[in-house]
Every structure is written in C-alpha cells, then in structure tokens.
C-alpha cells in the first residue's frame, strides 16, 4: 500500500497537505513548516521523499502509530493525531477538515488511516509514504 502526501499550502508555521491512499484522497495532513535551510529541531518538516512505514509503540503518545523509516536527519517520525503545529515536532498529523494553520477531526482520520495501514500489513503488504512538495501558495 502506498500513501502519497502532497504538500499544498504553507500557513504560518504549518504545512498543510493532502493524503491519498493508493491514489484516492483520504485526509488532510499538517506538518511543521518546510524550511529552505538547515533543520530547526522541533520546527522543520521532514524532507520530501519516499519512506517505508512500520508500526511502533510510542511511549509519549501511549499508542501504536505508523513510524517512518530512514528519514535523513530525523528520527521517531510518526503519523499521529493532532491539530496544530504545537502538536508536532516533525511528525505528520492527519485530519478530515482543514483551516488556517490547523486540521480538524484528527482522531477520526487517524483511526481510519491506522486501520488501513495495519490491515495492509496484516495482509503481508509493505506500506510506504511518498511525500511531494507541490505548493499552491507563493510563500
């Protein structure tokens, strides 16, 4: 199974995108700002690219989450619930609605996406995410 995260909008310190599962729209994403320079810890989105996904128990979140593998310059990058840049330190948040620098219905979107990822893995499929920069704004 392949997830595709297409980054579309820069809103303040947030990067908002669209997540597709096997080509069909699934939900919105929120990440830290994409910076055109060196990484700023806790404030920088991960580089665009393709990453494998494994399931991992996060002690901080106290739940199983999808974790991206081999992200250059980053570690412990998860997909998890959250609504604003304050809820992420490089991770990808997902939600069904989007606003200015925020996403909504995050827990619902995460639960549904997690079930799809886990189901694919239980069926023996490899799961990966491709992250693309395709900004519609001029920032």
pLDDT in tens, 109-120: 999 999 999 999
Backbone phi and psi for residue 62, each to the nearest 5 degrees, phi listed first: 60, 45
Instruction: Work out the mean pLDDT of the chain and round it to a whole number.
Output: 94
Contacts of 119 (CB under 8 A, 6+ apart): none
Q: Nearest-CA neighbor of 74 among 108, 25, 109, 38?
A: 38
Q: Work out the widest C-alpha separation in the chain, in whole angstroms.
A: 42
Using a pLDDT cut of 70, give the percent of the chain over it.
Answer: 98
Global pTM reads: 0.94
User: Which residue's entry shows tokens 């297409």?
Assistant: 6
Q: How far apart are CA 115 and CA 10, in angstroms?
A: 28
Using the Cα atoms of residue 24, residue 30, residue 35 and residue 38 in order, give the sign of their dihedral.
negative
C-beta of residue 93 within 8 angstroms of C-beta of residue 30: yes
β 2-11/128-133 pair status: parallel
SS3 93: strand
For the chain, which residues score pLDDT lower than 70? 137-139
């Amino acid at each position: 199974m392949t997830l595709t995260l297409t980054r579309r909008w820069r809103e303040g310190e947030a990067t908002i995108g669209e997540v597709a599962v096997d080509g069909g729209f699934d939900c919105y994403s929120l990440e830290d700002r994409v910076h055109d320079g060196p990484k700023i810890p806790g404030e920088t989105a991960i580089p665009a690219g393709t990453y494998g996904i494994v399931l991992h128990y996060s002690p901080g979140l106290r739940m199983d989450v999808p974790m991206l593998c081999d992200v250059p310059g980053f570690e412990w990058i998860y997909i998890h619930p959250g609504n604003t840049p304050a809820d992420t330190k490089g991770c990808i948040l997902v939600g069904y609605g989007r606003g200015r620098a925020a996403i909504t219905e995050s827990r619902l979107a995460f639960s549904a996406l997690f079930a799809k990822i886990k189901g694919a893995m239980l069926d023996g499929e490899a799961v990966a995410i491709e992250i693309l920069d395709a900004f519609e704004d001029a920032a």
